[in-house]
Amino acid sequence: MLYRTLGRTGMKVSPYALGTLMFATVIGNPDPDDSIKVIHKALDAGINVVDTADAYGDSEEIVGRALKGRRDSVILATKVGFPRLNALPRTPGAAVDPNQRGASRRWIMNAVEGSLRRLQTDYIDLYQIHRPDPDTDIEETLSALSDLIRSGKVRAIGSSTMPASDIIEAQWVAERRGLERFHTEQPPYSILNRSIESEVLPAAQRYGMGTLVWGPLGQGMLTGRVRRGEQNDLRRARLSTHLTDERRIDVVEQLIPLADDAGMPLAHLAMAFAIAHPGVTSAILGPRTMEHLDNLLAGVDVTLTDEILDRIDEIVTPGTDVTRLDQAYLPPALLNPNLRRRPVSERGAA
């Protein structure tokens, strides 16, 4: 593989990164030993970035087992912010502890110890905030993460699915307060979701941040397994409303003949597209089985011509999304109507 520098960290990373959500036995591969074999195969193929999160159930434990004896050759990334799958209440209606999530100093300092223990390591190469936390001042978050870097428990820090305005604010706060800054961003990016091309990727490039993009296969839609009028395992599983979205299926139906004309599977076209952007460092693939990994690795050397990229631009306009992702971050003003409406008494006469 042709390795790339991750922002200004100096760390060299493969253009494909291995995501581990599908190794969680709760929602993915039920056989941890099989998942470990998949991880080993990815490492043997030259992938040197393994990305996980404390929210991914028992994924961190499985990754920790897989990296025994190979830890020093891996750029290990994990995330904090969401509640852990295994820690969610099983009783319907039971409350989740509000302090066991988010980006407060209290939770970060607690969560990192759990991740280190589960990963069976004494340091994390890249520790990322899973989503922006509007309830916590970014200075508080960066201060805690800076202390983790100074303690040697973390080598670099990053954000995930953060709006461009928040990325810029975090850079300014870090500079003005003498804190460590985010070295990376992990945004969603695929042919179906290109909105980060407008502001997020330019902002990351402006500040020398590396990017590890997630969802390059469009949550499974760009594997070629989702077709109009056909039932398949992905849609039966109801993993996402996007799998039945007619607008996205329309685009897939246009991309399949394009991939055929280019002489490659749709999945290879999708992965090659994701890593072709100069602002993208690595694209995270999320195989559940060895077969999934082998199919994706077969396209690692695929390069798209300008002609193919132009045809993709004609199908999906650069900087736009073909519907918003379920997993996308929504700021409070979009979630709470009261934050975007004046009180009735202040609206004046109709």
Residue extents of the structural domains in the chain: 4-346
Query: Can you read off the two tokens belonging to residue 253?
Result: 């139906």
Among candidate residues 3, 16, 56, 329, the one labeled active-site is 56
Query: Can you read off the two tokens belonging to residue 285?
Result: 């693939």
- Answer for the pair 124, 67: CB distance below 8 angstroms, yes or no: no
Rounded Cα–Cα distance for residues 277 and 135 (Å): 33
Is the CATH code 3.40.30.10 the one for domain 4-346? Answer: no
- Answer for the pair 80, 107: CB distance below 8 angstroms, yes or no: yes
pLDDT at 235: 43
pLDDT at 177: 97
- Answer for the pair 212, 51: CB distance below 8 angstroms, yes or no: yes
Query: Can you read off the two tokens belonging to residue 249?
Result: 């299926």
User: Which residue, 120, 203, 195, is CA-closest to 159?
Assistant: 203
Extended beta strands in 174-327, E state = 184-186, 210-213, 282-285
Helix (H, G, I), strand (E, B) or coil at 299: coil
Q: How far is CA 122 from CA 43, 167, 308, 342, in A?
A: 20, 28, 45, 50
Helix (H, G, I), strand (E, B) or coil at 126: strand
For residue 189, indicate whether it is catalytic.
Answer: no
Rounded Cα–Cα distance for residues 252 and 36 (Å): 32
Rounded Cα–Cα distance for residues 170 and 126 (Å): 17
Query: Can you read off the two tokens belonging to residue 17?
Result: 């990164």
pLDDT at 237: 47
Model pTM? 0.92
Query: Can you read off the two tokens belonging to residue 38?
Result: 């998949």
pLDDT tens digit string along 79-114?
999 987 665 656 666 667 888 899 999 999 999 999
With a CB cutoff of 8 Å and minimum separation 6, the contacts of 299 are 264, 265, 267, 268, 271, 272
Q: Which residues of the chain have pLDDT under 50?
A: 235-238
pLDDT tens digit string along 192-244?
999 999 999 999 999 999 999 999 999 999 998 877 766 555 544 445 566 67
